[in-house]
Amino acid sequence: MTAGHARTAPHALAGIALLVAALACFAVLDTTTKFISLSVPVLMALWFRYAFQAIATTVAVLPKRGWALLQTAHPKFQCLRGVLLLTSSALAFFSLKYMPVGEFTAIVMITPLAITLLASLTLGERVSVLRWALVIGGFVGTLIIIHPGGNHFDWTMLLPLGLVASNAWFQILTSRLARTEDPFTMHFYTGWVGTLLASLALPFVWTSLDSWTLWAGLCLMGFMGTVGHFMMILAYTRAPVSTLTPFLYAQIGFAMIGGWLAFSHVPDQWSMLGIGMIAVCGAAGAWLAVRESRVTIQPPES
């Protein structure tokens, strides 16, 4: 093992651990969101989730960092990142209102494959035949879960596809900004951009809640969203995307466990087939990305 590998391996392991912990937080967030959405207006829950993050980050970090917390070389990209995450969260909240947690999460997991497609269409990157086959396989798995034309199909089942598009751009932007921006600054802007935009709808959707379990659920959503996204940012500062991507699919397992524990829901055989196809195609795509990156950066033999 070279000295460079010795220095970077602990950071990569820390990044993987942080990402897996973040995915567990997201699974709890999604499960709680589905429970809350049965009684609380979606936009009200969305506002509370972002207000919790914005206030918690400000109270915890601003006294220590001062106004330096707001300093960023890319204010437009910080705002765009906040808009993309708010869009993703809104689509996720509405999706979870109508879909089981496990199936929803599996569809969202085609995001890495969507990133491959976006890179080809917008950045002009060359995509191999195998990669295209994996993208198509992941999309077929999605169609199996959604069952278009089936008895249980509803237009709301298409919402996760919009989430995949916005989340793909969010992941790309997060990876780019994490190279130069302070993680606390990114977290601060994400929380406040989402809060300010969600506040525009708040007067029209606010509902008084008379149950402490609903307030506890809203607080849990805010806490898990705040901690999860901060750990994800830290993960990207410690390991490259190609290293972390294979571990994203652990969220499918976490989500299925959450759906089973909270709602006693177990996906049917067709949904399991679709989930399996997405997981296999996504993991294979991640492995291929890691393999190609190693070939690219492999030093010449001395």
CA dihedral in degrees (70, 241, 164, 258; nearest 10)? -90
**Percentage of the chain exceeding pLDDT 90:** 22
Cβ atoms within 10 A of the Cβ of 218, count? Answer: 22
Please check the confidence at residue 2 and state whether its pLDDT lies above 90: no
In the predicted structure, residue 96 carries a pLDDT above the cut 50: yes
Angle between helices 159-177 and 101-108 (to 10 degrees): 50
Query: How many C-beta atoms lie closer than 10 Å to residue 250's C-beta?
Result: 17
77-81, 246-250, 264-268: least confident range: 246-250
Is the model's pLDDT at 76 over the cut of 90?
Answer: yes
**SS3 state at 16:** helix
Per-residue pLDDT at 205 exceeds 80: yes
Average pLDDT across the chain, whole number = 81
Cα distance between residue 200 and residue 180, in whole Å: 31
3-class DSSP state for residue 3? helix
261-277: average pLDDT: 81
Tokens 């652990």 -> residue: 250
Average pLDDT over residues 273-300: 68
Tokens of 202: 């708040």
Q: Which residues lie closer than 8 Å to 266 by C-beta, 6 or more apart?
A: 259, 260
Report the pLDDT value the prediction gives residue 234, as an integer from 0 to 100: 87
Q: What is the dihedral of CA 94, 99, 103, 105, to 10 degrees?
A: 20
Average pLDDT over every residue of 69-93: 91
Query: Could you write out the three-class secondary structure of 194-212?
Result: HHHHHHCCHHHHCCCCCCH
Per-residue confidence (pLDDT) for residue 290, from 0 to 100: 63
Q: CB–CB of 157/151 below 8 Å? A: no
The model's confidence at residue 292, banded by pLDDT at 50, 70 and 90, is: low
Give dist(CA 131, CA 199) in Å, integer.
41
In the block, residue with structure tokens 């249980």: 152
Mean local confidence (pLDDT), 198-220: 91
CA distance 243 to 260: 30
Question: What confidence score (pLDDT) does residue 6 get?
Answer: 41
Average of pLDDT values for 282-287? 74
Residue 296, pLDDT score: 47
Average pLDDT for 3-27: 75
Are the CB atoms for 151 and 169 separated by under 8 Å? no
Question: 189-198, 212-221, 243-252: which has the minimum mean pLDDT?
Answer: 243-252
pLDDT value for 214? 92
Q: pTM for this structure? A: 0.71
**Which is higher by pLDDT, 124 or 254?**
254
Among the listed residues 92, 164, 144, the one whose alpha carbon sits nearest the alpha carbon of residue 272: 144
pLDDT at 87: 94
The mean pLDDT of 16-37, rounded to a whole number, is: 90
Residue 155: how many other CB atoms lie within 10 Å? 7
In degrees and rounded to multiples of 5, residue 2 shows phi and psi of: -75, 165
pLDDT of residue 125: 60
The 8-class DSSP code of residue 300 comes to P
Rounded mean pLDDT of 220-248? Answer: 82
Average pLDDT over residues 236-256: 76
Q: Where are the domains of the chain?
A: 3-297
List CB contacts of 68: < 8 A, sequence separation 6 or more.
Answer: none
Which tokens go with 228? 């999860």
Q: What is the CA radius of gyration of the chain?
A: 20
H helix runs in the chain, sequence order = 3-36, 42-65, 75-98, 101-108, 111-122, 129-146, 159-177, 183-199, 202-205, 212-238, 241-244, 250-263, 269-297
Residue 128 clears pLDDT 80, i.e. is over it = no
pLDDT of residue 254: 81
pLDDT (mean) for 247-268: 80
